Amino acid sequence: MRCSRRSRPYVPLLASPGGDDLRAIPLSERRRRLLALVEAMAAPEITVTPGTIDRDLALSWLGQSRIEGVVAKRLDGPYLEGERTPNLPTATGAI
């Protein structure tokens, strides 16, 4: 079976181009920096995973079968290497 789209790896932004460790800053700020970095690079082969705080938009993505799953993260949380966000429910299922 062949896929018509190339898969792209997901790489979280954990360090800045200047070498600063970004793990302790909130996800919202890491994401803002990642979007700015990718835009500045002007490299069409690099895309940022879509994200939203709009529940209806996220559900529409699921309905269009454009995505394989959902990852929910706290926007104010740091990067927790090898850990799940405390007190955040998890679920696994098929759609």
Task: Quick: pLDDT tens for 65-74.
Answer: 666 777 778 8
Torsion of CA 47, 53, 54, 57, to 10 degrees: 30
Q: How many residues does the chain have?
A: 95
Q: What does the alpha-carbon distance between residue 72 and residue 45 come to, in Å, rounded to a whole number?
A: 25
Indicate the average pLDDT of the chain.
75
Using a cut of 0.75, tell me whether the model's pTM lies above it.
no
**Is 33 in contact with 16 (CB distance < 8 Å)?**
yes
